[in-house]
């Protein structure tokens, strides 16, 4: 018999951890390859983790509600019918690794970088990570190091240094590293009075909070807004919507026109379609628009791939299909991946001005506000009632400057204000 490991998968770009919301199997259950093992949720998606093997569940390493970093073991499976040769090879490989000397710690940067799971445990238990030397590669502190330390009760105080005994290299964990914060902010102590309601923070809400916090801490946000006269667009869409719904079976929304205009402008201003990568900026070739879709307790950002190559009808269809997937809990991990720029329809609930948090690691997000009728001074100095909408853009100032963003928004404005029956086809 051979024991195989199932690890936490990466369920989206920039996702570094996932929360086990519910196990679908128990120890001793027989499973086939591709059978679902557990439901996992992140700030991006809810998904089932399939089995990579056929066999019997040997151990559930994590429990319901546990949050693990990508690459951490969630369970083990005993493979039926595996031959002894594989076992011998596995044992020989382990012995070779265990007998290999552990190299001296030369990369001091590893000690200042920790996995999300390590950061979470250290913050919850008040552990000063700078006082520890771990058993991971180059002295990196692993989740097991902290659990062992907490169990011993020997949590270090400032100024003390604790070194955990080195374990064989085969036992080391390999998880994505993120920079450690200088100091974790303690949870505020809020008195609870009679009649107050305490609402537990769900795993997905914690994941959303962590991703938003990372974006605000790492990306220097700047903000700009432009006003668009959408009168011609409103008249054109309203003249089509009823016939379109009867013919196509889904709604022709204003949002589809905005997404199409943004995709066209991104093609003309490719600098906006970029991401910060530390020592370089990655300008993405594909224009994949992330759209925000909300449920009662979470926010998801599915992606419209190659939006610049799609018609307004095609974009409207995808918006409808992705919204249905979110609200019926059928969104797949691949539906969330590859986004290069986010457009958020904040106007759907009446907002007229807002500053969005950038969808990390993208460089910008555009908020499409509510279309409202307002008196406007026209070019002939006459006042007319027009359908006006604000477009609000948050940008990562490491990647983008106000000049290129201003020109980008001017181009989006130009496209939208010239949308009409005579200039724009929805097919």
286: annotated active-site residue: no
User: Are the beta carbons of 120 and 127 closer than 8 angstroms?
Assistant: no
Taking alpha carbons only, the member of 347, 295, 289 closest to residue 318 is 289
Place of tokens 């020997």: 154
DSSP states along 193-222: -TT----PPPHHHHHHHHHHHHHHHHS-EE
Place of tokens 């199932």: 6
The b/e string for 74-89 (b: 16+ C-beta within 10 A; e otherwise) is bbbbbbeebeeeeeee
Among the listed residues 64, 107, 286, 401, the single catalytic one is 401
Three-state DSSP string of 408-427: HHHHHHHHHHCCCCCCCCCC
397: annotated active-site residue: yes
Locate 155 and state its tokens. Answer: 């949590």
d(CA 72, CA 116): 11
Taking alpha carbons only, the member of 26, 141, 17, 2 closest to residue 72 is 17
d(CA 116, CA 150): 17
Cα–Cα distance list, 141 to 73, 130, 151, 183, 243 (Å): 16, 10, 16, 17, 62
d(CA 162, CA 294): 46
User: Are the beta carbons of 298 and 205 closer than 8 angstroms?
Assistant: yes
Among the listed residues 64, 107, 217, 397, the single catalytic one is 397
d(CA 281, CA 36): 38
Locate 290 and state its tokens. Answer: 């992330």
Q: Running DSSP on this structure, what letter comes out for residue 362?
A: B
d(CA 214, CA 287): 24
Write out the catalytic residue numbers: 397, 401
């Amino acid at each position: 018999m051979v024991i195989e490991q199932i690890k936490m998968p990466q369920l989206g770009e920039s996702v570094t951890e996932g929360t086990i919301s519910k196990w679908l199997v128990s120890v001793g259950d027989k499973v086939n390859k591709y059978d679902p093992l557990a439901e996992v949720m992140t700030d991006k998606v809810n998904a089932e983790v399939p089995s990579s093997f056929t066999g019997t569940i040997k151990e559930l390493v994590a429990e319901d509600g546990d949050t693990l970093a990508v690459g951490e073991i969630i369970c083990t499976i005993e493979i039926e019918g595996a031959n002894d040769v594989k076992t011998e090879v596995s044992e020989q490989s382990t012995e070779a690794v265990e007998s290999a000397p552990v190299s001296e710690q030369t990369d001091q940067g590893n000690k200042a970088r920790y996995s999300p799971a390590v950061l979470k445990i250290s913050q919850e238990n008040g552990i000063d990570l700078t006082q520890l030397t771990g058993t991971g590669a180059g002295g990196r502190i692993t989740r097991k190091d902290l659990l062992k330390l907490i169990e011993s009760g020997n949590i270090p105080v400032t100024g003390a240094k604790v070194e955990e005994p080195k374990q064989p290299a085969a036992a080391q964990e390999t998880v994505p590293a993120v920079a450690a914060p200088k100091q974790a902010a303690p949870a505020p102590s809020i008195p609870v009075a009679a009649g107050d309601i305490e609402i537990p923070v769900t795993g997905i809400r914690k994941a959303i909070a962590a991703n938003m916090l990372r974006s605000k801490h790492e990306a220097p946000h700047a903000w700009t807004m432009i006003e668009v006269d959408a009168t011609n667009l409103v008249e054109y869409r309203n003249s089509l919507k009823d016939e379109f719904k009867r013919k196509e079976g889904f709604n022709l929304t204003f949002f589809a026109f905005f997404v199409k205009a943004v995709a066209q402008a991104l093609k003309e201003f490719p600098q906006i379609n970029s991401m910060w990568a530390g020592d370089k900026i990655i300008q993405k070739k594909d224009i994949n628009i992330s759209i925000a879709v909300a449920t009662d307790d979470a926010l998801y950002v599915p992606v419209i791939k190659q939006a610049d190559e799609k018609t307004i009808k095609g974009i409207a269809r995808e918006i409808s299909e992705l919204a249905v997937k979110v609200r019926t809990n059928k969104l797949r991990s691949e539906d969330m991946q590859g986004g290069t720029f986010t457009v958020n329809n904040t106007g759907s609930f009446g907002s007229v001005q807002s500053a969005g948090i950038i969808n990390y690691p993208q460089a910008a997000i555009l908020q499409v506000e509510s279309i409202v009728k307002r008196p406007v001074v026209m070019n002939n100095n006459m006042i007319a009632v027009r359908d006006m909408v604000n477009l609000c853009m948050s940008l990562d100032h490491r990647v983008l400057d106000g000049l290129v963003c201003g020109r980008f928004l001017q181009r989006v404005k130009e496209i939208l204000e010239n949308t009409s029956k005579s200039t724009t086809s929805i097919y």
